[in-house]
Every structure is written in structure tokens, then in C-alpha cells.
Amino acid sequence: MKEFIILFFTFLGICKGFAQNPVGNNLPDSLQNTKATVQKKSADSLFIKDKASVKLFPNPAKNKVELEVKGFEAGLIQLQIIGITGKVERNDQRLLVSGDENIVVMFSLKPGIYFIAVQQKQQMVKKKLVVQ
């Protein structure tokens, strides 16, 4: 079976493609290595995307904190403020438009140590908060 190689020019350089799909493992070694690399990179990028993170500032705070939320999907998140004894002081749902946003949380809590938990589906991130 003959293979036809198509070369075309783009602004980024020369690209090459096959006019027909090679059957079985008849791919040249260079293309087999490329395929494995692409699969690995796509798996790595999916893993990185699934890693959720939350930054909390200022800490210690008096009555307001800002959460920098990254790695979540667009949609509702569950936001909880939990006391050191495990009592839930506040339980909110917030809407994320893009998944990477800043959220302002206002509260009136007694001075002490609290935890802020942000959860969406199977992802959960907890941060320690000191209230003055």
C-alpha cells in the first residue's frame, strides 16, 4: 500500500499529514514516538487541570477575606467556614462563572481559628483562617 504525504505551509512553518491512515503498526518510528508524546502531554494537562487550589488573604482577618479560586469547573461551589471545634459557622453556595475567580467573603465571627472549605463534586480544598 502506498502512502501519500501532503505538505502544506502555514504561518508557523511546514506541516505534514497523511492522505490516508496507515494500517496497523506500519507507522514510521518518528510518528509512533510523536503519538506517545502527545498522549502523555494530554494526560499531564488533564491532571494539572484537575488540581484545585485556593489562596486566602488577608490572613489574619477581621471581617472580610478574599479567596482566589483556581482549578474548579464553572458552576456552583460549596463554601463553609468551620470553627476549631468542628461546628459549621457558615454554609454558602457560590456560583463560579469561569472556575478561576476571586470571591469576597464577609463575616462577623469571634476572634479565633477557623477553617474555610471550598468543595465542588469530588474536589475539596481547606485553608486555615485566623480571625482577630
Sign of the dihedral defined by the CA atoms of residues 20, 22, 28, 30, in that order:
positive
pLDDT of residue 43: 46
Domains parsed from the chain with CATH numbers: 5-49 (no CATH), 52-131 (2.60.40.3080)
pTM metric for this prediction = 0.60
> What's the rounded Cα separation, in Å, for the pair 37 and 59?
42
Decide: 51 and 80 in contact? Cβ < 8 Å.
Answer: no
Q: What is the reported pLDDT for 4? A: 57
Q: pLDDT 10s per residue in the chain (132 long)?
A: 555 555 555 555 555 555 555 455 555 555 555 444 444 444 444 444 558 899 999 989 999 999 999 999 999 999 999 999 999 999 999 999 988 899 999 999 999 999 999 999 889 999 999 999
Beta strands in the chain (DSSP E): 5-10, 13-18, 53-57, 64-70, 75-83, 88-96, 101-106, 112-120, 123-131
Around 103, how many Cα atoms within 13 Å sit in the side-chain half-sphere? 24
